[in-house]
Amino acid sequence: MPATPKPESDLLLVLYDVARHMRTYSDRVAHKRGMTRAQWVILARLERQSNLSQSELSALIQASPITVARLVDRLEAQGLVERCTDPDDRRIWRLRLTPAAAPVLQEIHEFRACLFGLMTEGLDPAALDAMASGLNRMKDNVSRQRRSAAAAKELVDA
């Protein structure tokens, strides 16, 4: 029987704690700048991939469609995001950043660089590469399992 890992060395707990600390720190910094971390996430995602529908964005950030709609409402009111009709389906809104989003995105980039530096201080670049590879594999494994479970549920519900 394998030994039970000690709580201080349990990878799942450490991953949870790191993610919680990142969220808490990010929340505080975003709030000081008059925004939420969720709004920052939306802006960063749209910078990477413009023209997403609200539904696609919702799936990417794993938030409910109504939550995304409300966050986009606020970003649109601030002039940072615009909703554009889809040329193929007028029921779909495509999301695009406006030029006014550039300074906010610059703040996000600076914050992310600062946070990355803080988190990785004293770590060897090779160790960082190995961690990134391992974490991406873990993410893929969990995502694959979730997709399989969702597909099986669809078959049962059909």
Range of the domain at 106: 9-121
The CA distance from 60 to 42, in Å, is: 10
Same domain, 117 and 129: no
Same domain, 111 and 52: yes
The CA distance from 10 to 4, in Å, is: 9
Q: Specify whether the CB–CB gap between 42 and 81 falls below 8 A.
A: yes
Same domain, 115 and 84: yes
pTM: predicted TM-score of the whole model, two decimal places: 0.79
Q: Give domain status of residue 38, yes or no.
A: yes
Higher pLDDT, 147 or 110: 110
3-state secondary structure of 52: strand
Q: Give domain status of residue 2, yes or no.
A: no
Same domain, 58 and 32: yes
Same domain, 85 and 43: yes
Query: Residue 7 pLDDT > 80, yes or no?
Result: no
Q: What is the mean pLDDT of the chain?
A: 91
The CA distance from 21 to 25, in Å, is: 6
Q: How far is CA 88 from the centre of its chain?
A: 28
The pLDDT of residue 146: 79
- Per the DSSP assignment, residues forming a β-bridge with 53 are 94
The CA distance from 33 to 61, in Å, is: 21
Same domain, 114 and 128: no
Same domain, 84 and 21: yes
Rg (the chain; Cα; Å): 19
The pLDDT of residue 147: 79
Q: Give domain status of residue 3, yes or no.
A: no
Query: Residue 35 pLDDT > 70, yes or no?
Result: yes
Query: Residue 3 pLDDT > 90, yes or no?
Result: no
Same domain, 149 and 74: no
Q: How many domains does the chain have?
A: 2
DSSP code of 80?
S
Q: Give domain status of residue 34, yes or no.
A: yes
The pLDDT of residue 1: 61
The model's confidence at residue 131, banded by pLDDT at 50, 70 and 90, is very high
Percent pLDDT > 70 in the chain is: 94
Same domain, 34 and 99: yes
Amino acid at 89: D
Q: Which two tokens stand for residue 66?
A: 């109504």
What CATH number has the domain bearing residue 47? 1.10.10.10
